[in-house]
Amino acid sequence: MQLSPSPAWKEPIRGGVNRGEEYLNSRSVGLYVHVPFCSGKCFYCDFVSVPVQAASHGPRRRHAHASSARVRNAGRGQGRHARRYLEALEAEMRLRPSCQPRTLYIGGGTPSELEAGELAGLLAAVRRSYATDGIVEATCEANPESLTADKLSALRRGGVARLSLGLQTTENRLLRRIGRRHDFACFLEAYRAARGAGFEVSVDLMFGLPGQTVAGLRGSIDAVLALEPGHLSLYGLDVHDSTLFGERGVRHDEDLGREMFEISIERLAREGYHHYEISNFALPGRESIHNQIYWRNEEYVGLGCAAASYINGERSTNVDRLQDYCDAALSGRRPVAYAETLRGRERLGEGVMLGLRLLDGFEPEPEALAAFAPEIAALAAKGLLRREGPRLRLTREGVFLANVVASEFVPPFEHPSAETVSFKEAIA
Ligand code: SF4
**Is beta strand 200-207 parallel, antiparallel or unpaired with respect to 50-51?**
unpaired
- The verdict on 221 and 365 lying in the same domain is no
Does residue 320 sit within a domain? no
Decide: 38 in ligand 1 pocket, CB within 6 A: yes
Does residue 80 sit within a domain? yes
235: helix, strand or coil:
strand
Decide: 39 in ligand 1 pocket, CB within 6 A: no
Q: Give residue 110 CA to ligand 1 midpoint distance, Å.
A: 7
CATH of residue 29's domain is: 3.20.20.70
Question: Could you give the number of structural domains in the chain?
Answer: 2
Average pLDDT over residues 173-196: 98
Decide: 108 in ligand 1 pocket, CB within 6 A: yes
Angle between helix axes 116-129 and 149-157 (nearest 10 degrees) is: 10
Q: Where are the alpha helices (DSSP H) in 44-168?
A: 52-56, 70-73, 79-95, 116-129, 149-157
State the pLDDT at residue 80: 80
DSSP code, position 178: T
- The verdict on 356 and 230 lying in the same domain is no
| Number of other CB atoms surrounding residue 176 within 10 Å | 13
- The verdict on 243 and 108 lying in the same domain is yes
Does the pLDDT of residue 4 top 60, yes or no?
A: no
State the pLDDT at residue 109: 94
Closest by alpha carbon to 112, among 175, 155, 79, 81? Answer: 155
pLDDT digits (tens, 9 = 90+) for 383-396: 999 999 889 999 99
State the pLDDT at residue 420: 31
Phi first, then psi, for residue 19 (nearest 5°) are -120, -80
Decide: 235 in ligand 1 pocket, CB within 6 A: no
CA atoms within 13 A on the CB side of 275: 21
106: helix, strand or coil:
strand
Q: Give residue 181 CA to ligand 1 midpoint distance, Å.
A: 10
Show which of 228, 262, 294 is a domain's final residue.
294
Banded pLDDT at 425 (limits 50, 70, 90): very low
Average pLDDT over residues 216-244: 97
Does residue 314 sit within a domain? no
Closest by alpha carbon to 204, among 142, 275, 162? Answer: 142
Show which of 294, 318, 334 is a domain's final residue.
294
Q: How far apart are CA 103 and CA 137, in angstroms?
A: 5
Average pLDDT over residues 57-83: 46
Give the position, in ligand 1's atom list, of the atom nearest the Cα of 143: 1
Spatial contact of 157 and 81, defined as CB atoms under 8 Å apart = no
Q: pLDDT over 90 for what percent of the chain?
A: 76
String of DSSP letters for 349-390: HHHHHHHTTBTT-B---HHHHHHTHHHHHHHHHTTSEEEETT
CATH of residue 352's domain is: 1.10.10
Average pLDDT over residues 312-334: 95
State the pLDDT at residue 415: 57
Does the pLDDT of residue 69 top 50, yes or no?
A: no
- Domain hosting 375: range is 347-427
- The verdict on 363 and 278 lying in the same domain is no
Nearby residues of 259 by Cβ (< 8 Å), 6 or more positions away = 214
Does residue 420 sit within a domain? yes
pLDDT digits (tens, 9 = 90+) for 375-422: 999 999 999 999 998 899 999 999 999 999 999 999 877 654 433 333
Average per-residue pLDDT for the chain: 86
- The verdict on 260 and 354 lying in the same domain is no
Which strands sit side by side in the sheet containing 299-303, from one edge to the other? 274-277, 280-282, 231-236, 200-207, 162-168, 137-142, 103-108, 29-35, 299-303, 308-311, 314-318, 336-341
Spatial contact of 397 and 383, defined as CB atoms under 8 Å apart = yes
Average pLDDT over residues 162-169: 98
Q: Give residue 340 CA to ligand 1 midpoint distance, Å.
A: 28
Does residue 383 sit within a domain? yes
Spatial contact of 145 and 69, defined as CB atoms under 8 Å apart = yes
- The verdict on 290 and 194 lying in the same domain is yes
